[in-house]
Structure 1
C-alpha cells in the first residue's frame, strides 16, 4: 500500500498534547498504526507524554531541536531517528528558526 501524503489534508494543531505552538500534520490512521508526516513550527513543542499502549519512531527530515526522553535530553538534526518504546515518555522541541519536518510511525501494541 502506498500512502500519498499529498492527498491527505494537512491539519494545524495547536498546543499538541499540552505543548506550545503549532504542529502541521498529515495523518494516515488505521486500527494498528498511525503514520504521520508533520512540521513542527519554530519555537513549538509537543507536550510530554507516555506511550502506554504503543511506541513511536520519529525520522527527522529537516530542522533541529531536542527530545526530552524520560529523564534525559537528546538533540536531533536531519537524519536522526528517535525511538520511544512503549512505557516510556517524551516531548519534542523545535530549537531552530525553521520548521522541523519529520516522518513518524506509531504502532499499537494491544
Structure 2
C-alpha cells in the first residue's frame, strides 16, 4: 500500500490545548485488515500553541520529533524535547505537548490500536 497525499486540517484548542495546530492526516483508520495501525499524521504546532494533555484509552501513540523544541508532559513529568526525540505513550497513560521554541514544532505521530484478549 502506498499513500502519497495527506489531508491538512486546522484544529483550535486541540484536546484542550492553546492556539491553533495543524494536522496532516496520512492515514485515518487504516484500511489494512488486521493491522493495529490506526493513524499516521504530521502534527505542526506553532510557537506558543499546544496539544492538551489527554489519556489514550484503547490506543498507544508514538511521536518522532522532526524539528522544534517543546515542553512534553509525560504522565506527571515534564521534559524538554527537540528534533530526533521519540516519545511513547502506552495505552492507559497520558501526554501533552507545548511548543516553547521560536519555530514550528513538527511531529510525526503514529497511533496504534491496543488489542486485548
TM-score (norm 2): 0.87
Q: Find out whether 1:2 has 2:2 as its counterpart.
A: yes
Instruction: Give matches, 1:92-103, under 5 Å.
Output: 92-103=97-108
Task: State the 1:53 CA deviation.
Answer: 0.8
Match in the other structure for 2:50? 45
Q: Structure 2: how far apart are the matches of 1:38 and 1:90? A: 15
Gaps of 5+ in 2: 31-35
SS in structure 2 of the partner of residue 3 of structure 1: coil
1:29-60 deviations in Å (ceiling 9; x for gaps): 12541111121111011111101110100000
More strand by share: 2
> Rg bigger for which structure?
2
Instruction: Give matches, 1:1-110, under 5 Å.
Output: 1-4=1-4, 7-27=5-25, 28-31=27-30, 32=36, 33-110=38-115
SS in structure 2 of the partner of residue 48 of structure 1: strand
Identify which range, 74-83 or 26-35, moves more after superposition. Answer: 26-35
User: How many residue pairs end up in the alignment?
Assistant: 108
What is the root-mean-square deviation in Å for CA atoms of aligned residues? 1.2
Q: Structure 1: how far apart are the matches of 2:2 and 2:106? A: 20
**Structure 1 residue ranges, 4+ long, deviating more than 4 angstroms after superposition:** none
